[in-house]
Amino acid sequence: MKKVLKKLKSFHSLSPKERKLFFQVIFLSIYREILFFIGSEKAFSEKIMREHPRKNISEENEEYAAEISKAIQLAAKYIPWRNKCRHRSWQAVYLLNKKRIPYSYQVGVNRSKISEGHSWVKVNARFITGYCNTSDYTIVVNSHPSNEL
């Protein structure tokens, strides 16, 4: 019971904008699971990425990207199914596309554990999802739809 009260308290401390983003992430998690279940290609980040003109990202968009990151992390605590790195990356790509914020999406294989893969999304070299030491991974997908380097 104490755990539930703590979660409710942390949820109520969110701003209305953060709550909206939280519920969008919950909805996207459900939506992606349905897409995956029916075998849609749209269930994969590589299939929903869009080109965005490379530009300096406004402070507002950087802040929004940080809020996306926070909402995805928070939602992962409440979602009863597995919301692994690939799912979180898909959610980030979807929301960043919606706001036309340039990003990079990468997938790597762990150098020491070949059977372990990982994906992450960055905006301006800042992790949105998939925080990791990228030098531990051999990059197998390196997509910069926004030409971000």
Residue 118's pLDDT is what? 93
Asked if 130 and 104 touch (Cβ cutoff 8 Å), the reply is: no
8 in a domain, yes or no? yes
DSSP string, 18-85: HHHHHHHHHHHHHHHHHHHHTT-GGGSHHHH-------PPPHHHHHHHHHHHHHHHHHHHH-SS---H
Residue 33 vs residues 37, 92, 130: alpha-carbon distances, Å: 6, 15, 19
State how many domains the chain has: 1
pTM over 0.75: yes
149 in a domain, yes or no? no
* Least confident piece of the model among 15-24, 47-56, 120-129: 47-56
Residue 149's pLDDT is what? 37
- In terms of average pLDDT, the best of 1-10, 11-20, 39-48, 101-110 is 101-110
Question: Nearest CA to 75 among 66, 88, 65?
Answer: 88
Q: What is the pLDDT of residues 109-124, one digit of tens each?
A: 988 887 889 999 999 8
Going by pLDDT thresholds of 50, 70 and 90, the confidence category of residue 10 is low
Q: Using the 8-state DSSP alphabet, how is residue 148 labeled?
A: -
19 in a domain, yes or no? yes
Q: What is the pLDDT of residues 65-86, one digit of tens each?
A: 999 999 999 898 888 888 899 9
Residue 105's pLDDT is what? 92
Domain that holds residue 29: 2-143
148 in a domain, yes or no? no
93 in a domain, yes or no? yes
